[in-house]
Structure 1
Amino acid sequence: MGSSNNCNDMQVPLINLSLLQQDSQTKSHVIKQIHQACTSAGIFNVINHGLSETLIEEVLKVNANFFELPLVTKEGLISDDILKPVRFSTNQGGAQGIFRDFLKLYAHPLEEFLNSWPNNPPDYRDKMGRCAVEMRKLGIQILGAIMESLNLETTFLKDNIEQGMHMVAINSYPPISESKNIKKIIGAPQHTDHSIITILLQSSSGLQVMDRNDKNTWKYVPKLKGSLLVFVGDHLEVLSNGKYKSVLHRVVYESCDETRLSIASFQSLGMDEVLEPAIELVDEEHPKQYKGSSLRDFLKHLASGESKPFIETLKISSETMEE
């Protein structure tokens, strides 16, 4: 999707995860960087994250091969059921100005779902399986650091997260005819992620986030070679009692001559496990700001077609708190 315009680029914080394994002073500095990134931007880049360059290249290639397959080979995966563990959808017709192919995979426990993943290309399950395992491992590591950045125990909710949901979503934004005005074409409409965190691998730029520090301006997120992006999700906003806000983002076409691929790893609690603000972050000065909710609650909201963002339905009004 081309390279973004430097004057409108988001300045995304960069976190070197290998420094978390260093001495306590160095680790403490990185934890403060993560706190600042979650507070100010809601998004940060990570390097030295454990996913090899070879694996990244392989999963981008095998997904490119999957999306290039004839539609007839993928029709069995098409479903309107948002709870289906493996679901493919296509919107290349550009309904509502959106062009995107999409594949969602449940990925934990991997052995429970792997055999229902696509087996064409033949190496799809092997390569995406290895990627899912590494992304989940990385997510658990990052969440430990985020908990510490909130002055919670590093192991806060660790068992719940390890037993929770892991979903992987792969998006393909195909080339667009040059006859179309690409400035008006959206790959993915604006949204926040209803995860605790999302880890994103992207083949090229095109992602935009709303910079709340610059008059809520939409800004491109440059693709930094070898890095992965981490997003604050709605459930981290709830868990932190509003200290960290989920980041509003979208995908906008910058180019009409190349396909953009993204692989998003969503880390959540169990489907029916209710997540509420951590009691350690609630007191008289910081009353409870959000109602509890589960991943299933969000999916029901999504299926309802309700236009109001789910996070807005969880906010407790000041009037309610005074009653």
Structure 2
Amino acid sequence: MDLSDELEKMAANAAHNRAGEQQASSQATVVRWQKLFRYSHSKAWEMIEQHRSNYCRESVSYEHWELVREEKEVQGYDREAYEHGLEIGWRKVKSSAATIDGNCVKQAARRQRYIVRLEKDLTPDLIRKISGWKGPLEVIDGRGQNGDERFCIVSSRIRQALLQQLPSEPTIVRIDEEEKYLSSESRYPTLGLDTTLPQFRPNNCEGPFLPAQDEYPVWCFFYGTLADSTVLTRHLSLTEDPKLYPASITGGLIGTRGGKYCALLDGRENGKVRGCAFQVMTKEHEDALRLYETGNYEVVRCAIEFDKRMVQGCTFRFVGEVDR
């Protein structure tokens, strides 16, 4: 590229920056980058500013953006985020910690669950045969468009096998539940921490990283509606009032969504959020909580302070867009 082309590109990027400057500085844009690129709040802010200040970056033309716009906006991208996605896709990840966290994201995707409607010619035995799955499958009863029906819960791997090998596409719906993947090799994910930074990377003396993925009982920090004992009792079908302890965590901040719902986000290191601590005793109760929070949230580690002690536990971080 000659000098005139380079100057033209810089001018176009500068003009694009001015046109979207207000948007890029908004909390909604920070949250968008957190969700799309798995950045912490501070990292997202830093990368947005870095992206906008790089006038020599490879930009996406308006013509290119219009071709992909409909598809990418459904996925949560705007033009700027799409541009950044292409940019980081061109670079090799050199940080071992970043590689670990990238693997965590892939593991979480593989843990996604789906509901398949069972039919006369689609039975659990056939699903096992097609997918090569040797273990039992969870079958539940429910109501569909045609009345009482049966459904099977499957993993993303089994879903992919069904889509590839069945002659006609089955009825498959993604279960909108909160994401959970707690790494055994790093602190990922932890509220308020960018676990790829040097000071937070694991060393040979650390571990185990707690809580573990399937550790029960586990302490959880609740805020918003789940901190209401009535809501918790009803949702978990408890036979007695839950034991909720006034508690606080650091590293977060509370935003709002839909004008009334609380949304926990990454905040400053000393940012304190108050709520309640509750000990989740079983995986079944945790699964119910994850379904309650839906896919707009993810399980993250945090230190919970209550009753004059500090415990390692979990809380629910919002990954959608908050109100401005």
- With normalisation by structure 2, the TM-score equals 0.24
Query: Which of structures 1 and 2 has the larger relative contact order (alpha carbons within 8 angstroms, sep 6+)?
Result: 1
When Rg is computed on C-alpha atoms for both structures, the one with the higher figure is: 2
